[in-house]
Structure 1
Amino acid sequence: MINLETPKKFRMLVDQAHQVARQIFRPNSRRYDRAEHLYPRELDMLGALLDGMNAGGGGGEGAGAAGVRRSAARSDEGNRNSSNLSTVLGTMELCWGDVGFLLTMPRQGLGNSAIASVATDEQLERFKGKWAAMAITEPGCGSDSAAIRTTARLDGDHYVLNGEKIYVTAGDRADLVVVWATLDRNLGRAAIKSFVVEKGTPGFDLVRLEHKLGIRASDTAAFVLNDVRVPRENLLGDPEINVDKGFAGVMQTFDNTRPLVAAMAVGLARACLEETRKLLEQAGIELDDDAPAFAQHAAASECRRLESEYEAARLLTLQAAWMADNRKPNSLQASMAKAKAGRSCVEIALRCVELAGPLGYAEGEGGHGLLEKWARDAKILDIFEGTQQIQQLIVARRLLGKTSAELK
C-alpha cells in the first residue's frame, strides 16, 4: 500500500535537490531566460546529482533516467519505493527552482527514460552515461503519434531513416536522440518503432533551434534525416511488427515520462503558491487553514482553492510513480496525473500573477519577480508528452474499456 510521506531513504536526496534549486537554479533563472540558447554551464557539475537520484531506490534501472521495466515483476516483493518515485520527488524540488534548468540537465532527457523503459540489458550498458533526447513530433504529426511519417527501412545490418523531426527537447545538447519511425506506413501503429541515433551520424542534421514562450534555458531543436544509417541493434524493443499488439512497446515510454512532466508541473505550481502566500501575508491578508472559505478574505480563499488543486495533482503524480516502481500497470494513472497537473499548473500560475497584480506581472530576479516567468513556463507542461485533450481521451478509453478506433 502506498505511503504518502516521503520515504526516509529519499529525504536526503530531496533535500539536496531543494538546495540545488534554491542556490543555483532560481538565482540564475532570469539570466538564462533572457539569454535563450545559452547553455547553463553551472549544470555540468550537477549531472551526477540526478544520476544519484535515479539510482536512489537501488533500482539502477536506466541509462541516466528512471524507467518503467516490469519484466522482472514478482508478487512477493511487497511495497517498493524505487527510482521512479525518487526521480519524481527530486523533479518536484528542482522545478520549484526552474523547469528549463531541469529540462537541460545532462543525461536526464526524455530519451533516457525511453531507453530505460524498453532497452535490453546490452543496450542499457552501451548507452550508459549518454544524454538522450526524444524525437516524436513532426510537421504533420503532433498529438497523434500514430501518424508518424518518418520511415525506417532495413538494409542489411542497418536501418535507413528518412524524415523530419521538430520540437526535440535538448536535441542540440544531447549525445543521442531516440527517433520514432515507421517500418511500414500501410500497417499503421503496429509498425511504429523507436531507434537510438547518435549525434554526428551522417545525414542526421540539425536545422534550427526554436524561440519559445518559456523554458528558455532548455534548447528545442528541429532535425532532418536523410538516409541516416542506424545499426539494427539500436532499435529499442521488439523488431517484429505485431498488428495485434499495436505500438504498445514504444508507448510504454509515456507511462514513465508523463509522471515526470506532472512532477515538473507540481514543482512549478508550488513555487507560485509559496510566493503568492508571502505577498498576501505582507499585505496583511491571513490564510487560515482552519477557517471556512466564506469567512476569509477573497484572495485568501482563492489561494486556498489553488492549494487544493496543487495537492490533488501532487498525490496523483506520486501514485503513478509508485505504481511504476511496484510493477503495476499505470497508463491510466500516468495520464490522470499529467492531465491534472498540467491543467492545474497553468491555472495556478496565471491566478497567482493575477493575485499579485503588478508585482506578479513585472520582471524581477527572485521571489515574486519570477511569477511572470513561471506563468510562461507553465503552459508547455500542459502540452508536451501529450496535450490536455489527449490525456482526457486516454483516460476515457481506459475507464470505458474502448480502443482508440472506438473512441476518437
Structure 2
Amino acid sequence: MINLEVPKKFAALVNQARQSAAEVFRPNSRKYDHAEHSYPHELDMLAAVLDGLNSSGQGGASGAGGVRRASDKGDGVRNGGNMSTALGTIELCWGDVGLLLSLPRQGLGNAAIASVADDEQLERFAGKWAAMAITEPDCGSDSAAIRTTARLDGDEYVLNGQKIFVTSGERADAVVVWATLDRSKGRGAIKSFVVEKGTPGFELVRLEHKLGIRASDTAEFRLDDVRVPKENLLGSPEINTEQGFAGVMQTFDNTRPLVAAMAVGVARAALDETREKLTEAGLAPDYDRPPHRQSSAAATFLELEADWEAGYLLTLQAAWMADNGRPNSLQASMAKAKAGRTGTDVTLRCVELCGTLGYSENSLLEKWSRDAKILDIFEGTQQIQQLVIARRLLGKSSKDLK
C-alpha cells in the first residue's frame, strides 16, 4: 500500500523549501518577470546551500540534481530522492516557477544525467549545470523524429543539427543533446550526449521572448560539426531496434513527475491567494457545508481544490514508484497530464474568481496564470501524455496507436 502523506523525515526539507520560496523567490518574482533574460543573482547563495545538501546526501530540496531511479525494490519501502525533490519542487514553485528553473545546477539536463549516466559520468559531470535539448524546428512532440545526427569518428562523436526551446541553455555549463546515430533505424538510434559549453561549433543563436517563466532563459542552438568525446554519450552506444529508445526515454519517467510538481506548486499558490481574497470579500469556502449550499465563488473554489488534490496525489505516487524501483511510465504521464492541465485551469479560474484583482499586476495571480501554461506543454504536451497513457492501458505500441 502506498501512503501518500508527506514522510516525517522530509518535514524539515519541506519547511526550508517553503522559507526559500517566501523569502527569496516571492520577493523577486515580479522583478525578473519584467527583467527577462537577466540572471537572478539572488539565487547564487541558495544554489550554494543546495549544493551542500546534495553533496551531504540530504539534497532534493529543489531541481533535479538528485533524481535517480532505485535499482530494485528491496525489502522495505523507500522515500528517497524522487519524493524529496518533488516535495521541494512543489514548495519552491509556490514561490516562483521561473526562478526554480533558473537555479544553477538544478536543470532538466541534470535529471537526464542522474537518470542514465554511469558512475564515472556522474563523478565527471558533478557540479555542472546541465540543460536539456530535445525539441527541433521540425520535431516537437514526436521525439522519435529527431534530425540532429551523431556520427562516430574515432574517439569522438560529430554532432550536426539545430535545437530550440532549451531551458537555461545560455546559463548552463553543458547541454544534454538528443541526436540519432542512424535515422534509418528509427527510435532505437536516438541517444543523448553531454555537450559542454565552449565546444567549437556549438553556437547560441538566440533567446526566446516568452509568455511566462521569463526569469528562465530559453535558448536556440546550432550544432555544426560539434565534436564530443565518445565517453559523453549517456547510456549504451549500441543500437537496439527492438528496445526502441527506452534508455533516453527513461529520463522522462523521472522528470515528468517533477514538471507535475511544478504545476502543483504554482496552482497551490493561486489557490492560497484566492482563498484570502474570497475570505476578505466574505465568501470564504465552508468545508462543513456541501458546495450547492454556498456561494458560486466558494463552490467553484472547492471544485478547484479537489482537482488540485488529484494532481498532487498522482505526482507523489509517480515519485514514490521511482524511489521504489517500480516501472512508473504510466504514472509519470498521468501525473504530468493531470497536474499540467490542472495548473492551467486552476490559475486561470482563480484570476476569474478574483476579477480585477486577479488581472492586475498588483497581484501575482496574473503572472502565475502565464507561468502555468508551459507546464502543460514541455516534457511532453497534454496530448502526448494522453497518447502515452492510452498505449500503456491498452497494451499498444507506438506503431499500433499513433
- Coarse TM-score class (shorter-chain normalised): over 0.9
Structure 2 distance, partners of 1:54, 1:391, is: 31
Equivalence for 2:293: 295
Q: Is the 8 A contact 2:73 2:326 kept in 1?
A: no
Structure 1 distance, partners of 2:247, 2:395, is: 19
Equivalence for 1:15: 15
Q: 1:396 to 1:105 in 2, by over 3 A?
A: same
Map 1:176-255; keep pairs closer than 5 Å: 176-255=174-253
Please state if 1:65 is matched with 2:65. yes
Q: Is the 8 A contact 1:262 1:338 kept in 2?
A: yes
Structure 2 distance, partners of 1:297, 1:178, is: 50
Equivalence for 2:376: 382
Q: Is the 8 A contact 1:132 1:176 kept in 2?
A: yes
Equivalence for 2:392: 398
Please state if 1:372 is matched with 2:366. yes
- Aligned with 2:143 (options 137, 142, 145): 145
Q: Is the 8 A contact 1:109 1:170 kept in 2?
A: yes
Cα-to-partner distance string for 1:100-138 (whole Å, 9 max, x where unaligned): 000010111000000000000000000001100000000
Equivalence for 2:119: 121
Amino acid of the residue matched to residue 4 of structure 1?
L
Equivalence for 1:327: 325
Give the CA deviation at 1:7: 1.2
Equivalence for 1:110: 108
Q: 1:190 to 1:224 in 2, by over 3 A?
A: same
Give the CA deviation at 1:54: 5.4
Structure 1 distance, partners of 2:67, 2:14, is: 19
Normalising by the residue count of structure 2, what TM-score does the alignment of the two structures yield? 0.97
Give the CA deviation at 1:2: 2.4
Structure 1 distance, partners of 2:58, 2:261, is: 21
Equivalence for 1:75: 74
Structure 2 distance, partners of 1:303, 1:16, is: 28
Structure 2 distance, partners of 1:336, 1:127, is: 31
Give the CA deviation at 1:6: 1.4
Q: 1:59 to 1:359 in 2, by over 3 A?
A: closer
Q: Is the 8 A contact 1:54 1:84 kept in 2?
A: no
Q: 1:49 to 1:308 in 2, by over 3 A?
A: farther
Equivalence for 1:274: 272
Give the CA deviation at 1:52: 5.5
The secondary structure found in structure 2 opposite 1:382 is coil
Structure 1 distance, partners of 2:87, 2:244, is: 32
Q: How many residues align?
A: 400
Structure 2 distance, partners of 1:50, 1:93, is: 14
The secondary structure found in structure 2 opposite 1:161 is strand
Equivalence for 1:42: 42
Q: Is the 8 A contact 1:32 1:216 kept in 2?
A: yes
Q: 1:323 to 1:257 in 2, by over 3 A?
A: same
Structure 2 distance, partners of 1:132, 1:220, is: 13
Give the CA deviation at 1:68: 3.6
Residues 132-141 or 2-11, more deviating:
2-11
The secondary structure found in structure 1 opposite 2:375 is helix
Normalising by the residue count of structure 1, what TM-score does the alignment of the two structures yield? 0.96
Structure 1 distance, partners of 2:59, 2:353, is: 43
Structure 2 distance, partners of 1:265, 1:259, is: 10
Please state if 1:311 is matched with 2:305. no
Structure 1 distance, partners of 2:51, 2:324, is: 21
Structure 1 distance, partners of 2:395, 2:222, is: 38
Please state if 1:284 is matched with 2:245. no
- Tell me, which stretches of 5 or more residues in structure 1 are unaligned? none
Structure 1 distance, partners of 2:136, 2:225, is: 17
Q: 1:406 to 1:327 in 2, by over 3 A?
A: same
Equivalence for 1:154: 152
Structure 2 distance, partners of 1:358, 1:286, is: 18
Structure 1 distance, partners of 2:246, 2:261, is: 23
Structure 1 distance, partners of 2:57, 2:303, is: 34
Instruction: Say what the alpha-carbon RMSD is for the aligned residues.
Output: 1.5
Q: Is the 8 A contact 1:21 1:97 kept in 2?
A: yes
Q: 1:130 to 1:57 in 2, by over 3 A?
A: closer
Structure 1 distance, partners of 2:58, 2:344, is: 34
Amino acid of the residue matched to residue 48 of structure 2?
A
Q: Is the 8 A contact 1:53 1:86 kept in 2?
A: no
Q: Is the 8 A contact 1:169 1:219 kept in 2?
A: yes
Equivalence for 1:164: 162
